[in-house]
Every structure is written in structure tokens, then in C-alpha cells.
Amino acid sequence: MEAARATAVAVDLSDPAGAKRLVTEAMAAVGGIDILVNNIGGGDGGLSGGFLDLTDAQWAQVMDLNFFATIRVTRAAMPALLAAHGAIVNVSSIGARLPHGGPVAYTTAKAALTAFGKALVHEFGPNGVQVNTVSPGPVRTDMWESPTGYGAELATSAGIPHADLLAGLPAATGMLIGRLIEPDEVAALVAYLASPRAAATTGSDHTIDGGAIKTA
């Protein structure tokens, strides 16, 4: 079996030139692109206040990171994906379906990202490009666990210890599994959607949320 390898490319995806360079270097490294996973997101620090607390600059930063970065990379990669009849997986959030469940700028950006996937597959699906979205609930990452992350900030604003917020988070968000989602669980779903086994699955938004969303 051939050993897996990865090549890191440091770029600024807020700059269209950065997205183009990322795709150009990927093409040079492997000779083409048949899978694109748009997994950039975050930027929710300092957003624990309400709508009236957010400045235009904060809105622009969150939208740029969580929405426009995906647009830039997808635009740059689309010719190669069309040639390969490739697959795109966008990582959104259940915040797109539960916009009250997080910072308003973040959940609005994720709702736009989810809608983008639907629109994209309508245009490029007939040409052989799959597009699916994965929408996780709270995942055990630094966003929640870091002492300087959003979880710690939320705990401070609520006046409770960070550990107590994390312990109560699954129940508070309506999850039924009693724990946060593991990153590997999200990765496994992304890998499936990008594989030939999911060839007939396209235009879908797949939640992985421990039962937080109760509607169909």
C-alpha cells in the first residue's frame, strides 16, 4: 500500500490570489484535483454579545472566513473538478439550521455556505461534479476547549466555570449522546461523501449533531 502524504501550503484565503496559489500548488503536487473539502471556519472569538454589539468589521471578517474563502477556493478549483468529475464537500454547521444557537454573524455565514452548496450543485451537478454539505453540532475542538476559545469566552459571559459549560453543553444544545462530537466522526462522514461509495449522493446537507436537530 502506498503511504499517504500531505503537502502544506500557507496562504491567505481572504486574498483571491491566495486561493489561486493554493489550487495551483495542489495541481502541481498531484497532477489534478478530484476532491475539494472546504473546511475553513471559525473567527467567532469576540462574538459572544448580541446583534447590536457587532461592528461592520466583525461581520466582514466572519463572512470572509466562513463564506467567501470557500467561494474563492471553489472558483479556482472548479475547472479541475469539472475535468475530473470530482466531489466537493463543504463543512458548514447546524447553526445554519438553528441560527439562534450561536453568534449571529457566524450562523448567518454558515447558512449562506449551506445555500451555496445547493446552488452550486444545481449548476455543476449535470456536468459530473458532486457537491455535499456536512453540518456538525458542537465538536470537541479548541473552539470549545481552549482557554482562549469561544467556549471559554461564552463561559465568562455567563459567569460560570469553563469546565461546567463544557459538561453541560451537550444537554444545553439538545444533543442526545451525552458528549461532544469527535473530530474523527466528522472526518469519516466527509471521507464517505468524497468517495465513490457516495456517487449517487449529491446536493445534500448531512447533519452530524448527536440528535440536536429534532426536525426532519
Tell me the pLDDT tens digit for each residue of 56-68. 999 999 999 999 9
List, edge to edge, every strand of the sheet that includes 205-208. 35-38, 87-91, 130-136, 205-208
Q: What is the pLDDT of residue 66?
A: 94
Residue 34 falls inside a structural domain = yes
Q: Which domain holds residue 154?
A: 16-208
pLDDT at 101: 72
pLDDT score of 5: 74
Based on the structure, what is the number of domains in the chain?
Answer: 1
Q: What is the mean pLDDT of residues 40-63?
A: 84
134 within domain boundaries: yes
CATH number of the domain bearing residue 179: 3.40.50.720
Q: Is residue 173 part of a domain?
A: yes
Residue 21 lies in a domain: yes
| pLDDT above 90: residue 46 | no
pLDDT of residue 145: 94
Residue 45, pLDDT score: 65
Is pLDDT above 90 for 199?
yes
Q: Distance between CA 47 and CA 28 in Å, rounded?
A: 39
Mean pLDDT value of segment 43-61: 82
DSSP the chain: -PPP--------TTSHHHHHHHHHHHHHHHS--SEEEE------TT--S-GGG--HHHHHHHHIIIIIHHHHHHHHHHHHHHHHT-EEEEE--GGGT-GGGS-HHHHHHHHHHHHHHHHHHHHHGGGT-EEEEEEE-SBSSHHHHSTTSHHHHHHHHHTS-HHHHHHHHHHHTT-SSSSPBPHHHHHHHHHHHTSGGGTT--S-EEEESTT-----
**Dihedral (Cα; 55, 61, 64, 65), 10-degree rounding:** -140
Q: How much of the chain exceeds pLDDT 90, in percent?
A: 77
Q: Which three cell numbers stand for residue 190?
A: 466527509
Would you place residue 14 in the very low, low, confident or very high pLDDT band (cuts 50, 70, 90)? confident
Comparison of pLDDT for 182 and 215, the residue scoring more: 182
- Residue 148: inside a domain, yes or no? yes
Q: What is the pLDDT of residues 101-130, one digit of tens each?
A: 778 999 999 999 999 999 999 999 999 999
215 assigned to some structural domain: no
